[in-house]
Structure 1
Amino acid sequence: MIRGRGKEMTGIRQDAWTKEEDELLAKVVLQYIREGNTQLEAFAEVGRRLSRTAAACGFRWNSCVRKQYKEDIELAKQERKRRKKEVAAIKESGGWAKVEAEGKQHLSWPDVLAFLQAEEQKAREARRAADENRALKNDMEQLQQMVTKLQMEKEALEKQLATVQEEYKTLLAIMERARQMVADHEKPEPNEADGAGES
């Protein structure tokens, strides 16, 4: 009874491990190994889930469970190496924002996913900028075509104006000659003027 009350007060389990708990412990530890995280972090995670201490989880893993998952541990380590190579390849491709704290020697898989999502966002922004650039370029081309068209219309109007001005000058010259001809025609002849004086 006293033990039971202590269990309720501390919230930490003291009973034996079940098969399901061993499987959960193995699953989480293997996941953490694959992702490049430490086993201590895995023990803490399992402890939170099972209401046990991280030390109890670590003891259970090293004393019992680990022996049953030797092959899975090796596969998890190989997976971790493969992921590290992928991360290294991504870094060499350029643009990797440093996400590791100084002295930290590994990247977790969520870090890789976050990087890829950031790169995808950059790619979307680049495509949007390219689309906007093409739209602006099309607008510029249309404006240039409009300017060229207006320039041609201006030149055509200037030619028409020059033609009208020439025709106007020609018309003025014709009118001046006609006026002069009328004036000359109405002017009396010299002989007619002399005869009128003698009579």
Structure 2
Amino acid sequence: MSTIRQDAWSQDEDLLLAEVVLRYIREGGTQLAAFEEVGKKLSRTSAACGFRWNSFVRKQYKSGIELAKKQRKESKKGVTPNVSYETNEVQSVLTEEQTDTLSISNIITFLGQLEEMEASYVKLQTENQYLKQKIIKLENDINFLTEKKRELERSMNLVEEDYKALIEIMERARKMVVLQEEEKSKVKFQMDRNGNLERVQK
């Protein structure tokens, strides 16, 4: 899957955009379909292609657009377009576009794009710094919670050991009580002829 590009447009890309859009106008297609075709070829979104066309490229091809509309009307009427006229017109448009590359408006547009890119870069830097600080904080929290977990595990082990010891003590005490009761049950007293109690073994 290709990554959507966000870098500045080159002159070749502008030329491809113009050629495709003019072809769609000439053939009666929609500009949206043209933007989608260009977007696939340049790995850009159709919205980006539409924005580039409307904000910059269209101004360079006014005569080319008029020519394409005229050819579309002629083709609907069944008139064969004048190929030589079309070629000369497109060449003149291209020549005009090439000589106008370093015009003030182009430079201003380019500087505007650079400014937008710089603003995006600064924003990304700020977000990156924020995310780094957040990661450091989360790592500290993880270390703190890990230490707490170890302390709880140690405490739990001590409680378990104390519980086992208590159970053993209770078991011993129970056995002692049972033995004492057994001992008591083995002894029997009876009265002798003189009226004295004497201990008799069972």
Normalised TM-score (structure 2): 0.42
- CA radius of gyration, larger in: 1
Higher relative contact order (CA 8 A, sep 6+): 1
Normalised TM-score (structure 1): 0.42
Structure with more strand by fraction: 2
